[in-house]
Structure 1
C-alpha cells in the first residue's frame, strides 16, 4: 500500500502502473530488469528512460517524428487553444457598457454572449466521434475555420439574436481545442514528456481566458465591442494557416508492444547500487520473431491532405456512444469535479467581474480588464512549479516505492486546489472589511494558480491511466462542465447583484472545497478503479490502455 494507495485484489499488473530502474538499489530494494535491455530509450538527458509507449519502426509513427515536427504541431495547437480560451469571456469586461447599448439586463447580455458555452458543450461529444472515426487533422481544421468564420459573423451582428447564433457556432469550433489536444499530446509524446506539454496547453487556454478580456476592455472603451471580434478574426485567420501547414494527422494504428510485469523488479538485495532510470511497462516474456515490415516515409506534401480515410471500423453511431459507459467510471466523475467544475467556478469570476468591480470599486471597463493581470501572474507561477512537480516529482516518489510508479502519485499535487479555496474565502472576508482592489486581484492570482497546477495534474493523471481512452472522459467532462457554466450565465450576475459579492464568493469557496475532496478517494482507490476498467473491456469498449 504505497503512500496510502490500496493494492488491487484481482490483477497482478494493473494498467497504468510502471517500473523504475533497470539497475540499482532503491532504499535497500534491488531493482533490476535485465530483460528490458532491447527496448528503445530516449536520447540526450533522457537516455536512461525506457520509452512508454514503445514506438514502432515506422517513420510515420507520430512517436518517431523529428522533434521540430512535434513541436511545430504542438505549438500551433497551443496558439489555437489560447485564442479558444479568449473567445468565451472575451466581452465580459464590457458587459456593463453593452447593457446600455442594447437596453437589456446584464443577465441577458451574459446569456447572449454565453451561448458560446451551449455550442461548446453540445458539440463536444460530436467532435469526439468525428476524431475517432476520421482522425484529428480534419477536426482541427474544421474547428479553427468555424471559429474564424463565426468570429467575423459576430463582429458584423446587428442584434443580440444574431450574436447568440454566432456564438453558438463559435462554441462548435472551440470544442476540439479544449479536449482533443490532450489526446494529441498522448499520440505524439512519450509518458515522461507529457507533463510539461499538458501544462503548456493548459497555460495557453488559461492565459487566453485572462488576457482576452484585458485586451478587449481597452478596445471596447476606445473603439467598439465589434472591433474586438475583428481583431480576433485576424489572429484566427493566421491560426487556420498554422494548423493547415503544421498539424498533420496524429492518429496512428499501432500494435501494442510487449510489456514487463511488476515481478521483474524482485531480485537479490545484494546487487551493486547503480544509476536509477525510468522503465515504463515492459514484458520480456513476449518477443516478436517475425521480420520487420518495410515502411515508406510520407513526404511533407502528402501530410497536408485534409482527408486521411477512417481510423475505426465501427459505424459512426457506435463511435458516438463510446463515451457513455464511462459515466460508470469513477475517473470520469473525478475529472468532472476536480477539473471541470473547478473551471466553472474560475470562469464565473471573469463573467461576473464587470458586476463585482463596478459594485465594489466603480471600475471602468479598462480597469476591470486590468484585474485579469492577477490571473496571468497566478498562471505563470503555476506553470513555473508544475513542470518539476509533475515530472520530477513523479520520479522522486517512484524511487521511494521500490522503483514502481503509480499514476496516483500525481494526485498528491491536487492539494494545490486549497489555494483556490483560500482565495475565495480571503476575497469574501476581505470584501466584508472593505479590502482595497489589490487584495481582490491577489485572490484572483491564487485562484488561477490553483487551476494551473491542479488542472494540469488532473489532465496528466487521466492520460497516464487511460491513454487513448482519455478522449472519451474528456468529452463527457467538458460536455457536463459547459452545460453547467451555460446555465450559470442566466443568473450569476443577478445573484451577485441581489445577494452581494461576499455571499457569492463564500458559495464558490464551498464548491471549491467539495471539488477538492473528490481527489482523496481517487488517490486511495485509483489503482482498484484502473483494475475495474481493465477487467471489463466489453463494457468499456474502447481502445486498449497502453
Structure 2
C-alpha cells in the first residue's frame, strides 16, 4: 500500500497507474517496465510522457506546446462568454420581474431553463464528439451562443426570453461538456494541472464577473445590452475558433495509452521517434547516455529525432473543415446511452457530487443574493447588487491560483514519495482546500446573510467568495481525477457531471426562493453546509479504495455488461 492507497488484489497493473518520473542516475528503476518510452527531459528529472505520443504529425500531442496553449486559451475565452449567460440575470432579477410583470421565482426559473438547455444538449454532445470529434461542436456552440444572445436582447415578452434562454443553454453545452475533455486530448499528464485549473476557472469561475458589470450596464443603457454584448464579443471570437481551433480528437493506437493498459508487459515497446517541441528521448537512450554526459536540455534537444515524415501532415485548409472523418466506429445510439449506466460508477458519482453540488449551491446563492441586498435593510439598487458579486469573482480567481499551484505540485510530490509511481488518487487531495474554504463559506453565509443589521454586508460577500473558491478547487480535483483515472470514458464522465449539475441546479432554481422564505436563511444553509461536508468526506474512501475501484471496473466494465461498449 503506497500513500494509504490500497493495492488491487486482482491486477498487477491497474489502468491509470503510471511511472511518472525516472532519474537517469538510477537507471535500474526504469529497465523492466519503462525502457523505450518517450520522456520529457527538459527538466532536472525526466518525466515519462503519459500517454505516449505517436509518430504522426497530426497527433495533437506532437504539436508545439504554444500551439496547444493557444487552442486552449481560445476555448477558455469563448467558454467565459458562453457560461456568462448563466448568471446574466442574477443582479437584474428584481428589475426583470418589474419589466415583465412576473414573480421573482418566474425570473429565477429563466436560469433554470438555461441549465435545462445545457443538460439536454450535453447528452447529445457525447455521441457526436465521440464519433466526429469536438471541433464541429465548438463551432456550432459558438454560432448558437451568438444568435441566441441577440435573440435574448431583442425579446420583449417573457416566453420569447424563455426560449432564448433554452437555446443559450444549448450553445453553452459543448463548452461545459468538452473543454475539460479537450485537456486530455492536448496535454500529457504532467502538463494538465494548471491547464485544467484554467479551464475550470473559465467554465465555472469566469461567469462570476458577469453580474458585476450587468447591474451597471442595465442601469446605464438597458438590460438588453447585457445580451447584445455577449453576442458581439462572441462574434469577435468566432474567426479565432474557425481558424485556430483544429480538431483535438485523435485515434491513438492502444499501446500508446500506457495509462490505460492493464499489464506491465504491455508497455515494453520501443518508440524510436520523438514528438515535436518537447525535449524528448526514449529511456533506453537516457540510460545509455546518462553515464557519459550530464543531462543538458540543449544537448537533449540536439539528440531528439524528427517525427516520422512518411505520414503526411494535414494542410491548413484541411484543418478548417468541421469534420476530419470519424474518430470512432461506434454506434451513435450506443454512445448516446453510454453516460446513463455510468452513474453507477463510484468514481463518476463521486465526481458528480464533488463538482455538481458546489455548483448548485453557488447558483442558489447567486439567485437569492439579489433578494437579500435589494430588500431591507440595505435596499440596494441593481448596480450595487451587481458589485456584491465581486467577492465571488475574486474567490474564483483565488481558487484558480490555489488549484493551479497545488494540482501538479502535489501530484509530483506524492509521486516522488511513492517511489516514482503516479496514482490518479493523488488528485483527490485537492478536495481538502475545498472542504476548508467551500464549507466555511457556506456556514458563514448562512449565519450572516439574514442578519445584516448585526453583521457587516462585507461578511456574506466574503463568504460567497470562499464558497466559490472552494467550488473551483473541487471542480479541478474532480476533472483531473476523471481525466487521469478514467480517460477512456472521460467524455461520458464529464457528460454525467454536466447532466447531474445542471438538472440538480435547475431544480434548485425552482425552489430556492420559496425554500428560503419558508425555512429562513440560517436553517437552509446549515442543511446545505452539512450536506457539503458529508460529500467532501466521501473523498476519504474514494482515495483509499480508488485503485481497487479502478481495478474492479476494468474487470467488470459497466458498458460491456450493459451492451454499450
1:507 equivalent among 506, 527, 545: 527
Pair 284,2 (structure 1): closer, same or farther in 2 beyond 3 Å:
closer
1:38 equivalent among 28, 36, 39: 36
2:238 maps to which residue? 240
CA distance in 2: counterparts of 1:286 and 1:39, whole angstroms: 7
**Residues 1:346 and 2:368 are matched in the alignment:** no
Residue 116 of structure 1: SS of its match in structure 2? helix
CA distance in 1: counterparts of 2:257 and 2:241, whole angstroms: 35
**Residues 1:399 and 2:409 are matched in the alignment:** no
1:488 maps to which residue? 508
> How far has the Cα of 1:311 moved from its partner?
2.0
CA distance in 1: counterparts of 2:35 and 2:364, whole angstroms: 52
Q: Which 10-residue stretch deviates more, 335-344 or 412-421?
A: 412-421
CA distance in 2: counterparts of 1:343 and 1:33, whole angstroms: 46
> How far has the Cα of 1:317 moved from its partner?
1.0
Residue pair 2:177, 2:498 contacting (<8 A) in 1 also: yes
Q: Which 10-residue stretch deviates more, 512-521 or 4-13?
A: 512-521
> How far has the Cα of 1:519 moved from its partner?
1.3
2:6 maps to which residue? 6
**Residues 1:428 and 2:411 are matched in the alignment:** no
Where do 5+ consecutive residues of structure 2 fail to align? 274-307
Summarize the alignment of residues 354-433 of structure 1 with structure 2, pairs less than 5 Å apart: 354-359=370-375, 360-418=377-435, 419-431=437-449
CA distance in 2: counterparts of 1:260 and 1:215, whole angstroms: 47
**TM-score, scaled to structure 2:** 0.87
Residue 295 of structure 1: SS of its match in structure 2? coil
2:92 maps to which residue? 94
CA distance in 1: counterparts of 2:53 and 2:564, whole angstroms: 21
Pair 541,242 (structure 1): closer, same or farther in 2 beyond 3 Å:
farther
State how many pairs are aligned.
524
Pair 35,483 (structure 1): closer, same or farther in 2 beyond 3 Å:
closer
Summarize the alignment of residues 107-186 of structure 1 with structure 2, pairs less than 5 Å apart: 107-186=105-184
Residue pair 1:155, 1:229 contacting (<8 A) in 2 also: yes
CA distance in 1: counterparts of 2:206 and 2:449, whole angstroms: 27
> How far has the Cα of 1:32 moved from its partner?
4.0
RMSD across aligned positions (CA)? 2.6
1:306 maps to which residue? 322
Summarize the alignment of residues 326-337 of structure 1 with structure 2, pairs less than 5 Å apart: 326-337=342-353
Pair 46,73 (structure 1): closer, same or farther in 2 beyond 3 Å:
farther
1:449 equivalent among 462, 466, 469: 469
> How far has the Cα of 1:30 moved from its partner?
7.9
> How far has the Cα of 1:114 moved from its partner?
2.9
Residue 236 of structure 1: SS of its match in structure 2? helix
CA distance in 2: counterparts of 1:321 and 1:510, whole angstroms: 34
1:285 maps to which residue? 268
Residue pair 1:186, 1:468 contacting (<8 A) in 2 also: no
> How far has the Cα of 1:186 moved from its partner?
0.4
CA distance in 2: counterparts of 1:424 and 1:308, whole angstroms: 46
Residue pair 1:469, 1:542 contacting (<8 A) in 2 also: no
CA distance in 2: counterparts of 1:191 and 1:478, whole angstroms: 23
1:104 equivalent among 102, 105, 114: 102
> How far has the Cα of 1:361 moved from its partner?
2.5
1:459 equivalent among 479, 482, 487: 479
CA distance in 2: counterparts of 1:258 and 1:153, whole angstroms: 46
Pair 288,201 (structure 1): closer, same or farther in 2 beyond 3 Å:
closer
CA distance in 1: counterparts of 2:355 and 2:74, whole angstroms: 24
> How far has the Cα of 1:486 moved from its partner?
1.2
The one-character-per-residue Cα deviations of 1:451-481 (angstroms, maximum 9, x if unpaired) are 1222111110110001131110111121121
Q: Which 10-residue stretch deviates more, 402-411 or 140-149?
A: 402-411
CA distance in 2: counterparts of 1:282 and 1:148, whole angstroms: 51
Residue pair 1:414, 1:453 contacting (<8 A) in 2 also: yes
**TM-score, scaled to structure 1:** 0.90
